Amino acid sequence: MKGDSFQTQTVWREPREESVGLYPGLVVHDGRVSGSITVSSSRLPVWAFIGTAIVNGWDAVEKSYEPTSNYGFEAGDLAEFLYNLLEARGEFGRLLLVLANAERLERIREDESIEEQAPGESVVQIDIGDGSGVTLPPPWWDSELATPVIDQLHKCLECLNG
């Protein structure tokens, strides 16, 4: 169990690696789009267009983003992925909710930090370690926001060890 320091290893693999075959049509590469789930080996992360797809439909995705069909990924593929993801039950369903909440809380903290350091600005430069911009709080996995995720992961592992 983690201690109070919350110092973690990075969530990205070194050397950077492209993971294919984890789910049809989707890929994770540690050095591409910050390790996001992307359509095929593109730079199009699923998080970028999921809201558009749900609110405005697939045609809006095809008009607003690089056509996903260029990579053999279409509306039905996204629907199947979300169905399979959300089919998780019990402790695994709870894990998805806890992970999503950690991401949500991290985004809220980032927004609050930006508003505090650059009030009213619509575009801000994020500090990448050179002191030239807004400093963001640590990511959820390297802060107290990790605690519920750690707890739920333990519960999932206990289920698997039966």
pLDDT at 2: 43
Residues 106 and 70 in one domain: no
End-of-domain residue from the set 46, 69, 85? 85
Averaged pLDDT for residues 139-157: 96
> Which band of pLDDT confidence, cut at 50, 70 and 90, is reported for residue 33?
very high
For residue 6, tell me if it sits in a domain. Answer: no
Alpha-carbon separation of residue 126 from 8, 35, 36, 67, 156 (angstroms): 22, 18, 19, 29, 36
The predicted-structure confidence for 38-50, as pLDDT tens digits, reads as follows 999 999 999 999 9
- The percentage of residues in the chain with a pLDDT greater than 70, rounded to a whole number, is 94
> Which band of pLDDT confidence, cut at 50, 70 and 90, is reported for residue 6?
very low
Domain interval for residue 136: 89-161
91: left (phi over 0), alpha (psi -120 to 50) or beta: alpha
Domain count, the chain: 2
Q: Are 120 and 114 in contact (CB under 8 A)?
A: no
**What values do phi and psi take at 3, rounded to 5?**
-85, -160
pLDDT at 124: 93
For residue 9, tell me if it sits in a domain. Answer: no
Question: In the numeric block, which tokens belong to residue 82?
Answer: 């979300």
Strands of 18-23's sheet, edge to edge?
18-23, 26-29, 37-39
Residues 68 and 94 in one domain: no
> Which band of pLDDT confidence, cut at 50, 70 and 90, is reported for residue 5?
very low
pTM exceeds cut of 0.75: yes
For residue 1, tell me if it sits in a domain. Answer: no
pLDDT at 4: 46
pLDDT at 105 over 90: yes
End-of-domain residue from the set 36, 69, 85? 85
